[in-house]
């Protein structure tokens, strides 16, 4: 009897307390996760925000949260016109934006092509799909080290292939010095992220009903039209997810750059520095923890803005997706 | 009531002791006995103060006798936690060897060695310093010591403890300086081993090119002329190696590579009071300019600036460069067989020569770094930790450990040992130590070094022509002035602390 009434009254119309009682077990079950998430995510975030208002440096670190409160001083330092301690962050910001755009266009674009290829019937398809996954199992810091060796001008395999074997370039360029460094970090990142995107897109493609494609073909839709108007709508939610994930991954990119340039010791140069390595160097290695917290908070806000933007763009397709599942 | 319990306990103990003594003296049994005796002793001394029955007293004296016969002076077991960095080819093995020797003197001590990677060590040590849960003993790079000490994590050594280790004069001066943070009045560390730089060259290639190594390293001018001659020889096909090689920006050692040239030109990094940077002085710029000119004059392989130290060492070992400025570990490598990770079979090892860095207008200076030993405030057994440090700076341990890891001892008596002072190659490094200079021991140094790595790294990019053709007269001062502002700002953070 009670069960029946429960079904009839939708959860929305009950008080919070009723719902709590109704789902007591469920809440109990998620409690450990909730506590863990609070302690590893929420509390550090709040602490970081508080730290960004403190003058926390190597001399006051012992006091930690009792360090002198300086209000917005750290933020003023970041936006101050001639602040020497934040010099170089603008290069890092420019590189990060270029890096994020290039890597995401690259991974989603090439990933889509590869997914379309792997979606076809061919003899070694299973093997090809497995091989495709390989770069993904390489940890990012190993990617940085490996490519750091491959990019070497005179003894790296890349110049040997490009110049000695294929004669694509007249002479061997430097990849780890100068403007090319940006390419030298973008390409390995695409290589590393491609498998994930390909697999995700492939799974999306397999949701496209074959009869829908057949029907479109019978109606006279060209191959491109079938791709554009039948496949893409199915892929949109997946593109949304991998774009979000890719933006976060690139925005907070660290390992590949750090390992490629001196295994954490050197300076990646004005065209190779990203925001995360720059922040780590110029706040944490300079022992300016308050400043570091302030920059981190700003990065978090920037990322939240992007997520909001992302949600506005993809809201309709995401809602359609959840509607479809219901 | 309480008294009764103690009597019963003591009797029980005697029973176990006697049984233990009768049984085969396996180490385990002995150890157990040791622990228990100690406890009883403690209890008794406490009780004695409160005046207890003579019976128990008697029991105790008897019992101590029993123990004293099978094992010498039993002590409670102590575990020392020691953090070290990856020193030498076998970091753990080399340290365990020292621990084993120490255990011969103190059988009750177990040394727990943890090897931290240099990269991971910085955050881990910082965290330990702030949380107050550190090891008993840790190795700290000479440039880190003052920074960690400023966080109040290190237990200063007393005058008596230092005297027991031979006093300040027992240690290499440049290293000793790094153990006494400027203005603190404390000795927070003890030098452990020394890392210094000298020129290593290929005797055979120098001979083929007609360069006399006895004069080549006298001054900057003779050095420049020698490299020019080697370059000519390469162009003529007499030798198949570039004159010299050194890493660019992708490396930890960026500042260590530049600093000697700055000092030799009469410049310095910070002013005498350590309140402002002076590495943009005309003298310092002269030194930087000279070092950079070795690349622009074409003495190095063209791709050398994208390599790191290990890769440049590889070039030397493979015979692709005739000269390298490196540390004592190269000597160790040259004498270690190839199947054990060395390169003794190479031509480079068979024709290895060493000389001090060429003297500049203001004299001969080389970089002295290395590592110090520190005892942490969080240590539960500070006396024993100091005892272990004392052991590690004893002459025997110094000679053994330094030669195992390919560094130099920090203790003068060990440096003077024939192992180093009479060795044709090591002796060069030993005399280089005498011309050694270390960085100022101030808390902000860790940060300053990072600024310098960035500024000089960017300068190497300028040298490579990233921002148009390299103009040393404008580009070097520009980078150094910018770095000076940054360093001055960092020095101001601590209010000149």
- On whether ipTM exceeds 0.85, the answer is no
Domain layout of chain A by residue ranges? 2-78, 86-325
B254-276 tens-digit pLDDT: 899 999 999 999 999 999 989 99
Q: How many CB pairs under 8 A join A and B?
A: 123
| pLDDT recorded at residue B55 | 44
The percentage of chain B sitting over the pLDDT mark of 70, rounded to a whole number, equals 84
Query: pLDDT, tens digit, for every residue of A110-154?
Result: 999 999 988 888 888 888 888 888 888 888 888 998 998 899 888
In this complex, which of A58, A177, A267 lies closest to B466 when CB atoms are compared? A177
pLDDT at B396 over 90: yes
CATH topology of domain B78-196+369-437: D-Maltodextrin-Binding Protein; domain 2 (3.40.190)
Mean pLDDT, residues A181-187: 93
Q: Is B301 on the interface with A (CB under 8 A)?
A: yes
Domain A86-325 has CATH 3.40.50.1820: no
For the ranges A24-33, B142-151, B303-312, B351-360, the maximum mean pLDDT occurs at B351-360
| Residue-wise pLDDT tens digits, B79-118 | 999 999 999 888 999 999 999 999 999 999 999 999 998 7
Checking if the pLDDT of B431 tops 80, the result is yes
Highest mean pLDDT among A277-291, B63-77, B259-273: B259-273
Q: Are the beta carbons of A153 and B302 separated by less than 8 Å?
A: yes
Q: Which range, of A276-290, B229-243, B372-386, averages the lowest pLDDT?
A: A276-290
pLDDT for B47 equals 44
pLDDT for B427? 94
Distance from CA of A176 to the nearest CA of B (A): 6
pLDDT number for residue B131 = 81
Rounded to the nearest integer, the mean pLDDT of chain A is 85
pLDDT tens for each residue of A70-121:
888 888 888 876 677 777 788 888 999 999 999 999 999 999 999 998 888 8
- Check B249 against A269: CB less than 8 A apart: yes
Q: CATH: 3.40.50.1370, 3.30.565.10, 2.120.10.30, 3.40.190.10. Which one for B198-367+442-493? A: 3.40.190.10
| Out of B122, B443, B453, closest to residue A267 by CB | B453
Of B123, B150, B253, the CB nearest to A59: B150
Q: Which of A192-206, B33-47, B138-152 has the lowest mean pLDDT?
A: B33-47
Give pTM, 2 decimals.
0.79
Q: What is the 3-state secondary structure (H, E, C) of chain B?
A: CHHHHHHHHHHHHHHHHHHHHHCCCCHHHHHHHHHHHHHHHHHHHHHHHCCCCHHHHHHHHHHHHHHHCCCCCCCCCEEEEEEECCCCCCHHHHHHHHHHHHHHHCCCEEEEEEECCHHHHHHHHHHHHHHCCCCCEEEEECCCHHHHHHCCCECCECHHHHHHCCCHHHECHHHHHHCCCCCCCCECCEEEEEEECEEEEEHHHHHHCCCCHHHHCCEHHHHHHHHHHHHHHHHHCCCCCECCECCCCCCCCHHHHHHHHHHHCCCCCECCCCCCECCCCHHHHHHHHHHHHHHHCCCCCCCHHHCCHHHHHHHHHCCCECEEEECCHHHHHHCCCHHHCCCCCCHHHHCEEEECCCEECCECCEEEEEEEEEEECCCCCHHHHHHHHHHHCCHHHHHHHHHHHCCEECEHHHHCCHHHHCCCCHHHHHHHHHCEECCCCCCCHHHHHHHHHHHHHHHHHHHCCCCCCCCHHHHHHHHHHHHHHHHHHHHHHCCCC
Q: To the nearest whole angstrom, how far is the Cα of B302 from the nearest Cα of chain A?
A: 9
Indicate where chain B has its CATH 3.40.190.10 domain(s): 78-196+369-437, 198-367+442-493
Mean pLDDT across the stretch A180-198? 92
**Best mutation target, B123, B461, B488, to test chain A (most A CBs within 10 A):** B461
Q: What is the pLDDT of residues A19-63, one digit of tens each?
A: 788 888 888 999 999 999 988 989 999 999 999 999 888 778 777
Closest residue to A267, CB basis, from B122, B454, B493: B454
């Amino acid at each position: 009897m009670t069960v029946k009434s429960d079904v009839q009254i939708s959860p929305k119309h009950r008080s919070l307390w009723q719902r709590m009682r109704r789902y007591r077990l469920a809440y109990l079950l998620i409690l450990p996760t909730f506590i863990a998430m609070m302690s590893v995510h929420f509390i550090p975030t709040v602490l970081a925000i508080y730290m960004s208002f403190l003058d926390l440096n190597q001399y006051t670190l012992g006091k930690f949260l009792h360090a002198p409160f300086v209000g917005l001083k750290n933020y003023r330092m970041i936006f101050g016109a001639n602040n020497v301690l934040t010099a170089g962050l603008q290069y890092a910001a420019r590189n990060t934006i270029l890096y994020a755009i290039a890597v995401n266009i690259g991974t989603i674009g090439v990933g889509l092509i590869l997914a379309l290829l792997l979606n076809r019937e061919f003899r070694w398809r299973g093997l090809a799909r497995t091989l495709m996954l390989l770069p993904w199992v390489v940890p990012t810091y190993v990617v940085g080290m490996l490519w750091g060796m491959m990019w070497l001008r005179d003894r790296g395999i890349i110049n040997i292939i490009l110049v000695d074997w294929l004669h694509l370039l007249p002479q061997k360029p430097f990849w780890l010095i100068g403007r090319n460094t940006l390419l030298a970090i973008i390409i390995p990142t695409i290589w590393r992220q491609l498998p994930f995107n390909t697999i995700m897109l492939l799974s999306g493609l397999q949701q496209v009903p074959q009869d829908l494609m057949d029907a479109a073909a019978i109606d006279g839709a060209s191959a491109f039209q079938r791709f554009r108007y039948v496949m893409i709508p199915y892929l949109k939610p997946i593109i949304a997810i991998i774009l979000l994930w890719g933006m976060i991954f690139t925005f907070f990119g660290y390992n590949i750059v750090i390992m490629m340039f001196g295994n954490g010791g050197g300076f990646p140069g004005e065209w190779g520095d990203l925001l995360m390595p720059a922040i780590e160097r110029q706040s944490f290695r300079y022992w300016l923890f308050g400043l570091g917290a302030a920059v981190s908070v700003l990065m978090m806000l920037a990322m939240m803005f992007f997520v909001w933007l992302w949600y506005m763009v993809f809201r309709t397709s995401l809602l359609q997706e959840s509607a479809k599942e219901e | 009531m309480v008294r009764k319990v103690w009597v019963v306990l003591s009797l029980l103990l005697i029973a176990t002791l006697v049984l233990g003594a009768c049984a085969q003296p396996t180490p385990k049994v002995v150890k157990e006995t040791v622990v228990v005796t100690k406890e009883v002793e403690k209890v008794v001394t406490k009780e004695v103060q409160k005046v207890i029955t003579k019976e128990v007293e008697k029991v105790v004296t008897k019992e101590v006798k029993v123990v004293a016969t099978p094992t010498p002076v039993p002590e409670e077991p102590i575990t020392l936690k020691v953090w070290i960095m990856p020193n030498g080819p076998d970091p753990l093995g080399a340290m365990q060897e020292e621990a084993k020797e120490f255990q011969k003197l103190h059988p009750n001590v177990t040394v727990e060695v943890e090897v931290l990677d240099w990269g991971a060590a910085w955050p881990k040590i910082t965290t330990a310093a702030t949380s107050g849960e550190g090891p008993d003993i840790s190795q700290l790079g000479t440039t880190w010591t003052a920074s960690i000490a400023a966080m109040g994590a290190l237990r200063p050594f007393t005058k008596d403890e230092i005297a027991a280790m031979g006093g300040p004069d027992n240690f290499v001066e440049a290293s000793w300086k790094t153990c006494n943070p400027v203005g603190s009045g404390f000795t927070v560390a003890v030098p452990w081993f020394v890392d210094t730089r000298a020129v290593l060259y290929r005797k055979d290639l120098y001979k083929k090119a007609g360069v006399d190594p006895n004069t080549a390293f006298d001054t900057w001018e003779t050095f420049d002329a020698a490299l020019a001659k080697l370059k000519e020889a390469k162009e003529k096909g007499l030798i198949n190696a570039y004159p010299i090689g050194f890493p660019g920006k992708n490396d930890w050692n960026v500042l260590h590579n530049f600093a000697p040239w700055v000092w030799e030109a009469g410049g310095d990094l910070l002013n005498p009071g350590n309140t402002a940077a002076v590495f943009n002085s005309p003298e310092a710029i002269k030194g930087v300019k000279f070092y950079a000119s070795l690349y622009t004059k074409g003495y190095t392989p063209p791709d050398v600036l994208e390599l790191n130290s290990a890769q440049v060492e590889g070039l030397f070992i493979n015979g692709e460069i005739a000269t390298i400025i490196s540390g004592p570990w190269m000597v160790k490598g040259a004498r270690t067989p190839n199947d054990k990770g060395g390169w003794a079979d190479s031509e480079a090892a068979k024709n290895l020569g060493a000389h001090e860095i060429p003297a500049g207008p203001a004299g001969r200076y080389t970089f002295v770094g290395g590592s110090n030993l520190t005892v942490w405030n969080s240590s539960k057994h500070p006396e024993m930790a100091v005892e272990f440090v004392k052991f590690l700076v004893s002459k025997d341990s110094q000679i053994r450990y330094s030669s195992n890891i390919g560094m130099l001892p920090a203790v003068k008596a060990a440096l003077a040992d024939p192992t180093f002072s009479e060795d044709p190659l090591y002796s060069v490094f030993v005399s280089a130590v005498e011309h050694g200079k270390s960085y100022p021991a101030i808390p902000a140094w860790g940060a300053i070094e990072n600024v310098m790595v960035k500024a000089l790294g960017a300068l190497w990019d300028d040298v490579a022509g990233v921002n148009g053709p390299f103009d040393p007269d404008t580009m070097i001062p520009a980078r150094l002035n910018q770095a000076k502002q940054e360093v001055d700002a960092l020095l101001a953070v601590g209010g000149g602390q």
